[in-house]
Structure 1
Amino acid sequence: MSSGSDDDMPLARTNGRVSATRISDGVDKAMDKALSKQKTKPAPVGVSIRNGPVEDKMDVDGPFTNGKRKSRGSTSKAVNYNDGISESDEDAVPLAKRQKTFKKVQDVDSDDDVPLAKRKPGKLPPKATETAYGESSDDEPLTKLAEKKASIEKKAGREAKAIRAKEKKTKKPAKDDSEDEDVKPKIKRKSNGVASAKKTNGVKKDESDSDAPLAKKASAKKANGKVKTEATSPVKKGKAKTEESEEVEEIYRWWDAPKKEDDSIKWTTLSHNGVVFPPPYEPLPNHVKLLYDGVPVTLSVEAEEIAGFFGAMLNSTHNVENPTFQKNFFADFAEEVKKTGGARGPDGNKIAIKDFSKLDFKPIFNYYDAKNQEKKARSSAEKKEDKAAKDAAEAPYTNCIWDGRKEQVGNFRVEPPGLFRGRGEHPKTGKVKRRVMPEQITINIGKEATVPTPPEGHKWKAIQHDNKATWLVMWQENINGAYKYVMLAAKSSIKGQSDYKKFEKARELKKHIDRIRADYERDLKAELMADRQRATAVYLIDKFALRAGNEKDAENEAETVGCCSLKYEHIQLKPPNTVIFDFLGKDSIRFHDEVVVHDQVFKNLKIFKKPPKKEGDDIFDRLNTTQLNKHLTNYMPGLSAKVFRTYNASFTMSTLLKELKTSNISLQEKVKLYNDCNRKVAILCNHKRTVGASHEAQMEKMTDRIKGLKYQKWRIKRMILDIDPKQKKKKGPEWFELDEDLDEAWVLEHQVFLVQELRTKIEKKFQKDNEKLVAEGQKEMKAKELAERLGAADELEKKFKKENKTKKIEAEGKGPTVEKYLTNIQKLDERIATMSFQAEDREGNKEVALGTSKINYIDPRLTVVFAKKFNVPIEKFFSKTLREKFTWAIESIEDEEDWEF
């Protein structure tokens, strides 16, 4: 796409070093020549090739930095989160006189200034060689995955053209119809160099945002949009859980309801009961005091509450040992102490609290910890009673009446006061979250409804009747000045409609994806720097699922970045065409990946990093997210960078599911095939996560369970020999041997585990029986009864010892026969196979957040169609919560097995 003159091209940002307005032929040719000398064996383009630390000796274009984003107005100076902590504090006694701990904190914090590639291994994801990412999970080498991705993209192009051709035949095209495959969108250049559609305001009504039925008109029996339906899914074929099968509730079938004339009006009538406030602060007993330099101090109630916030979380070392957390807390705490009359010692004299290191919160921690332990030690009956009382008190707030129907409210509780934690290295972590008062609350409610009564002695900030808003209650928190909203729950019709619109918008992108890709591939060689940067950004967003990256206030928000806000230090270039990303993304999750890109993209990034640019400068200095999204609306109303993630995940999943062959396989195998597709989507769309710290322990536990079943099977085989020794000759001696996965040492250890497991079960059963007796007003059983019950564990222990000594296992059970034992062995084989599938599935998913993909990126209707087509209970894929959230997807295509994304 051509652009205007140089003079009409304002910079996206004016601070720091920026790229030239145009890329001359000389620069292009010089870069081509330089890169041609570095050519090596080509790698597969378009997929991640590793998920781990960058080798120190790697031939890249510069050293790694810590991956933290600097603000748009920042210089190359690194952010120092130690500011405000004096050097003398390093040797001071922290929290509760824990000098060693404090020293450790300083060491950890100093690691922030160490390049990511050189940090301690424990802080990094495993190397590609350790995880075999992209290979072990699907047994496909990277080349095949790259080929698969290219094949899916070609298919997407063909489908886009076919859809437009079909629409052209079924309706008369408008004069400026840009949907024809042979007609480019009518775009004219604006002075900012961003392509703009004929309708420049970008607010053309989005068809996908309507409430039109998904696949069919409302039937006569559903004309009012409501039906009585079971909470369990109609897709489910197996036997439902008792409590679910009996549960019947009214579901508002908005997808079958008549389309609204005004989509901006969200409700006509609305009533609700407001919010639940946290309980008031309970002052500490007189004998529990904060210590300052070893002296107990008396504080105002307000200051004592803030001290309690810190003291209660001493075991959260990640926070309380963070210097930034300490610094921010102490600033707010000291200010509150000063504002409320200061601190006084035992003799009543004022004590000046000036040094955080002299504070000792241990007495406060011990007090709250004892209360928590006491709470945990309550009997099951007491816990149930407390929960019932809490549920009864909150019941009026859990639902609202929205246009005459009951809708569940999501977060009806006002956040309690405490210490702000934030995500990642948030600069405000540790600051005091103040108690929200009714005077800060704005209520949104219908004009005819009764306004909730505020707590006694208080009043609401405001009452409004905005039927274009979907929130019920709003307030502003004091940390970042952000507004908090009480919204409807995820299972509500409003949230369902929002999800539906999101996935329909992704489906709409199917019509345009070929033209978008063709345009950005052409503009990768554009002369104008702004065009080339935009094309490169769209390529990265489309191919590698990078988020667009909005502007951040560096002083108030964690320094996270996305594609458009990438800094010089966030990408490293490894010839011939490998790009290494390393930055903090959404929620301060580290995005660390090594990908192979198109040669032209590699060349462009090299140009974008060309001197005099250096650390701290923007890669895409002539592009921001507003310009990028405005450009995308030329192809489709409402199109933004985030729609690509949903489209790519859903279209890829749709393609993979169509290729499955599920005949003559078990239910568990079908589930695994589905999860394999989900996993492959994560790989092809570059949705990954770092391996969880508990993964190895979980896998070890599953392995032990499988071994336990094999040991159980071996014991039954030995019992067969006890009944009929001739079976050894009939089946062969190998059949009766211990499985190769087991050895004598493991068997002995497992026997000890089985005995202890039985003891634990007996003790828990005894405790529950006693609680039941007390609840019924009867006397508790004495310890003698428990000792008698534990005799079963003692007998099992003796049996194992005898078996180990005699090498013989006696037959067990009533009327044991060879046939019964063989049937038991067959059942165990089925359990072992099922559990082995589950273990393999979990191991393959260790780097993939399947739940996140299913909830956010993959159209749930794809899962529903798969479940219906191959007779798999929907419960195998969606939990009860997700079935409620995706009721619209389950119900709307209940009769359409051929539905396609």
Structure 2
Amino acid sequence: MASDYSDDDMPLARPNGRLSAATIPKSEDRAMDKNDPAAKGLPAPVSIRHGPVRDEDAMDVDSPQQVNGHGKRKSRVSVVSYKDESDSDDAPIAKRQRKKVVGSDSEDDAPLSRKGRLPPKATAADMIDSDSDDDKPLTAKLAQKKKDIENAAVREARAIRKSVKDESDSDAPLAAPKGQKRTSNGVPKANGVKKEADSDSDAPLKKTKPKAKPAPAASKAKPKGKADVTPAKKAAAKKVAKKEESEEVEDDDDEGGENWWDKPMDQDDSIKWTTLVHNGVMFPPAYEPLPKNVKLIYDGVPVTLDPEAEEVAYFFGAMADTAHAKLDVFQKNFFTDFKEVVTKSGGAKDRQGNKVNIKDFAKCDFSKILNYEQGRKEAKKAMSKEEKKAAAEEKKRVEAPFKTCTVDGKTQEVGNFRVEPPALFRGRGAHPKTGKLKYRVMPEQITINIGKGVKVPEPPAGHKWKTVQHDQKASWLAMWQENINGNYKYVMLGATSDFKGKSDLKKFEKARALKKYIDRIRKDYEKELKSDIMADRQRATAMYLIDKLALRAGNEKDAENEAETVGCCSLKYQHITLREPDTVIFDFLGKDSIRYYDEVKVERQVFKNLKLFKKAPKGEGDDIFDRLNTSQLNKHLSSYMPGLTAKVFRTYNASYTMSRLLKDLKFPSNATLADKMYEYTKANREVAILCNHKRTVTASHEATMEKMGDRINAIKFNIWRTKQMILDIDPKQKKKKGAEYFQLPEDMASEEWIQKHINFIVEEERKRITKKFENDNKKLAANKEKQLPEKELKDRLKAADDLAKQRKKEWKSKKVEAEGKGPTVEKIEEKVKKLEQSLNAAELKQQNQDENKEVALGTSKINYIDPRLSVVFCKKFGVAINKVFSKTLENKFQWAIKSVEEDWEF
């Protein structure tokens, strides 16, 4: 395709940067091709190295440039690995599972190339699970799987265009696509929205007027010359009519009649509402001064601060033991703002009233504040059930007026109705402003948006709103500007509101519309990878990276005020390292300052282009794509499809990949719920990996895995005990079933674990008995009756002692007396079967937990995978919707749950 650039919109290089040549001479291309080492092995692109950075991994990049080029930047590592290594150094730096932590005085300040720490290369254990039907490496299988999905997309795009063409050439009624309901006028109800037909535009179509239904009498009239309707046909017709009647009643019961997702989308997006009524925003409570004995200690002297300054000291003291508070940049930013507040509020004084000059953070002791905060938390945990219930009810009562609003006469849930409280800014990753003070937001900073002629919410006494407006084109209720990054904060309607639902539906429908054009887009950019025009070649290369590697498009940042995060179009020279013949190493700070590190095999032409874009005299700080920005890229994409932008590719790739993976799922008739959920989660995980949705390992992961392991061993032990009961009833079963059937698994646990497990069971029984005793006394007290004496508790606890003796005797003798009423071999075998099902579920859950430790499944499922795909999975395989969606998501995605059938396709 022709270039979209003109001299007016051509991006300029940095003032001290170097701009690539406008065109690429054929001689230069030929020179790059000369002695071109063949790229062997994998269909591109595929990640060949991922996972936590480790000290023992040697640098194998043959470039003199340091890999990330960030020098002393302390970046957070968030990368994907599925290896279960025992070495704690495998954990991400951000969670400080390493021996040297971020923010410590260590070699972490040294460039990565000198430290030689890289993620481990991908191994079979790291890659996506795949059937080992041949000797092909797992990396090749993953790459081939991606290639197969892309080929399927090409075939589908061609089929869609052919179908649309065939339909436009014919006046015949449209056939309803698979899984889509038909409207009363015979038009397919596509994707939860009634449309007439697909077109080249993704703009919603107007709803056609339904044809009048035939009169009942006409429908009953018997056509002349026709045979009588058979009884079977009459019964079938009656059944259909009954079903249609029940569906009509169900629709009529819905609030407001027809659901919004059954109506055509508004063509005019400028007007969002006609009437809007709400109660404003909920402010955080005023600061309550600390007790007089709880003070900041400076250089060994307790100091008194003005409440405004004391509040800031409290913010730090309350979190003094957290990872954030131990970072140098956090401490520096906090102390700078704290000193400013102390000075402005009148300074600090000792007990005699003498002024104390606070100027050295190292002399500040926040331990008393930290201890006070920990005491408060413990007291909250120790509250009785009644106290917690009363507190929850009071909270609910205070929040109630702000939780809903009325839009066009319909009650809608409000999302973030609270004004953010003052605090210390944390940010994510290596944000340069972490630790700075977030000021308390006052009513004078807040703009209210509300309908005309309705009561404006009252601001707190003695205050007034910044402004009150009646903007029907805005969907927010209130707005203010925060002081850290100067960003605007909005109070919006909740996730379950019509506004949000319509927004989600439009997003996924736009991704679905991309199916029709994806093959052309890919064909064009693959052709332009060899363009003579530098701007076109850069654009094609960027599109390749965005499409194939799920890189974000990226926008220019204000380096002075924001974290140095980048995306594809804003990549710098130092963010990419090249290794012949076809490996590209990415190392940069992505969204939310999360470190993106990946080594990827790409097509040879892409590798050569990146090499060209880094050509001297370019150096550190220069743009890779110096003749491209996101606006130009999106302008180019919109020439294929109205409204298409770079970010749509992430949604499309995630949803289309998930649709192909779920489509291939098949389960045997005896498949359990755990089996089905494991495969669903596995597909979700694969999408997350292909789309690079990563997270850091939680600090509690290892403890969680250990706890799950204990539960698995406990079930195995229980299975062993239950099987021994079979021998107690019928010793001949040992010969019949074989001795192995009745043995503990060799790898189950040690003798030490068995003893610990028995002690744990006994201790849990003690807790149960004690709690029951306490509850009995509470009931007696409520009825003003005499309470049970402590002797009663001691007598009851003897049952736990008896249990301990019984379990120890069983383990020593390896004989277990059959339990239950009228035990039989058949009953015990049925119990074993149920325990084995529980064991299978527990093992799959543990496997999922470990495999998902560094994959953000929620990011994919909530934001990028069309929720209708999850609904189809549930309906197709008989899985309850609450197994894939939490209650919140279930409410959020009502439009998806109610608008598709089990054979709907993305």
Aligned partners of 1:709 and 1:828 also within 8 Å: yes
| CA distance in 2 between partners of 1:623 and 1:213 (Å) | 41
1:181-580 to 2 correspondences below 5 Å = 208=202, 210=204, 227-228=252-253, 253-257=259-263, 259-260=265-266, 262-316=268-322, 318-580=323-585
Indicate which of 146, 149, 152 corresponds to 2:146: 149
Secondary structure of the residue aligned to 1:641 is coil
1:58-77 to 2 correspondences below 5 Å = 58-66=60-68, 68=70
Match of 2:183 in 1: none
Distance 1:583 1:513, change over 3 A: same
Q: Give the CA deviation at 1:851.
A: 2.4
The residue type paired with residue 60 of structure 1 is: D
Q: Give the CA deviation at 1:718.
A: 1.6
| CA distance in 1 between partners of 2:780 and 2:116 (Å) | 55
| CA distance in 1 between partners of 2:200 and 2:798 (Å) | 72
Q: Give the CA deviation at 1:11.
A: 3.4
Match of 1:866 in 2: 873
| CA distance in 2 between partners of 1:469 and 1:490 (Å) | 17
The residue type paired with residue 305 of structure 1 is: E
Match of 1:235 in 2: none
Match of 2:33 in 1: 32
Aligned partners of 1:271 and 1:401 also within 8 Å: yes
The residue type paired with residue 585 of structure 1 is: G
| CA distance in 1 between partners of 2:429 and 2:658 (Å) | 32
Distance 1:816 1:299, change over 3 A: same
Match of 1:739 in 2: 745
Secondary structure of the residue aligned to 1:255 is helix
For structure 1, which segment, 499-508 or 612-621, has the greater mean C-alpha deviation from structure 2 after superposition? 612-621
Indicate which of 118, 128, 153 corresponds to 2:122: 128
Distance 1:211 1:694, change over 3 A: farther
Secondary structure of the residue aligned to 1:128 is coil
Indicate which of 681, 700, 703 corresponds to 1:697: 703
| CA distance in 2 between partners of 1:794 and 1:211 (Å) | 74
Distance 1:217 1:259, change over 3 A: farther
Q: Give the CA deviation at 1:17.
A: 2.3
Distance 1:109 1:611, change over 3 A: farther
The residue type paired with residue 11 of structure 1 is: P
Distance 1:126 1:804, change over 3 A: same
CA RMSD between the two structures: 3.2
Match of 1:108 in 2: 104
Indicate which of 757, 774, 779 corresponds to 1:750: 757
| CA distance in 1 between partners of 2:252 and 2:402 (Å) | 25
| CA distance in 2 between partners of 1:576 and 1:619 (Å) | 19
The residue type paired with residue 804 of structure 2 is: E
Match of 2:10 in 1: 10
| CA distance in 1 between partners of 2:49 and 2:401 (Å) | 52
Identity over aligned pairs, percent: 60
1:814 maps to 2:815: no
Aligned partners of 1:225 and 1:254 also within 8 Å: no
Distance 1:597 1:798, change over 3 A: same
Q: Give the CA deviation at 1:490.
A: 0.8
Q: Give the CA deviation at 1:109.
A: 5.5
The residue type paired with residue 315 of structure 1 is: D
Distance 1:258 1:651, change over 3 A: closer
| CA distance in 2 between partners of 1:137 and 1:853 (Å) | 24
| CA distance in 2 between partners of 1:341 and 1:777 (Å) | 57
Superposed CA offset, 1:106-160 (max 9, x none): 9626555323466597xx7665349522347999822122222112212211221
The residue type paired with residue 803 of structure 1 is: E
For structure 1, which segment, 512-521 or 45-54, has the greater mean C-alpha deviation from structure 2 after superposition? 45-54
Distance 1:33 1:633, change over 3 A: same
Secondary structure of the residue aligned to 1:717 is helix
Aligned partners of 1:400 and 1:408 also within 8 Å: yes
Superposed CA offset, 1:502-523 (max 9, x none): 0000011111111110110011
Match of 2:173 in 1: none
Q: Give the CA deviation at 1:838.
A: 2.9
Distance 1:118 1:253, change over 3 A: farther
Aligned partners of 2:67 and 2:576 also within 8 Å: no
Aligned partners of 1:109 and 1:322 also within 8 Å: no
For structure 1, which segment, 128-137 or 869-878, has the greater mean C-alpha deviation from structure 2 after superposition? 128-137
| CA distance in 2 between partners of 1:535 and 1:312 (Å) | 51
| CA distance in 2 between partners of 1:333 and 1:288 (Å) | 18
| CA distance in 2 between partners of 1:363 and 1:259 (Å) | 58
Distance 1:336 1:217, change over 3 A: farther
| CA distance in 1 between partners of 2:311 and 2:376 (Å) | 16
Aligned partners of 1:423 and 1:558 also within 8 Å: no
Match of 1:839 in 2: 846
Aligned partners of 1:650 and 1:859 also within 8 Å: yes
Task: In structure 1, list runs of 5 or more residues that go unmatched.
Answer: 69-76, 82-102, 174-204, 230-248
Q: Give the CA deviation at 1:253.
A: 1.5
Q: Give the CA deviation at 1:14.
A: 3.5
| CA distance in 2 between partners of 1:843 and 1:353 (Å) | 48
Distance 1:870 1:436, change over 3 A: same
The residue type paired with residue 14 of structure 2 is: T
Superposed CA offset, 1:480-521 (max 9, x none): 221111111111111110100000000111111111101100
| CA distance in 2 between partners of 1:60 and 1:107 (Å) | 29
Distance 1:349 1:35, change over 3 A: same
Distance 1:428 1:676, change over 3 A: closer
Aligned partners of 2:451 and 2:470 also within 8 Å: yes
Distance 1:823 1:274, change over 3 A: same
| CA distance in 2 between partners of 1:779 and 1:444 (Å) | 61
| CA distance in 1 between partners of 2:353 and 2:7 (Å) | 73
Aligned partners of 1:722 and 1:811 also within 8 Å: yes
| CA distance in 2 between partners of 1:542 and 1:105 (Å) | 35
| CA distance in 2 between partners of 1:617 and 1:388 (Å) | 58
Distance 1:35 1:784, change over 3 A: farther
Distance 1:106 1:717, change over 3 A: closer
Secondary structure of the residue aligned to 1:790 is helix
Match of 2:735 in 1: 729
Distance 1:445 1:617, change over 3 A: same
Aligned partners of 2:4 and 2:632 also within 8 Å: no
Superposed CA offset, 1:569-603 (max 9, x none): 21221221111212221112221112111110011
Distance 1:6 1:336, change over 3 A: closer
Aligned partners of 1:105 and 1:323 also within 8 Å: no
Aligned partners of 1:541 and 1:641 also within 8 Å: yes
Match of 1:56 in 2: 58
The residue type paired with residue 900 of structure 1 is: E
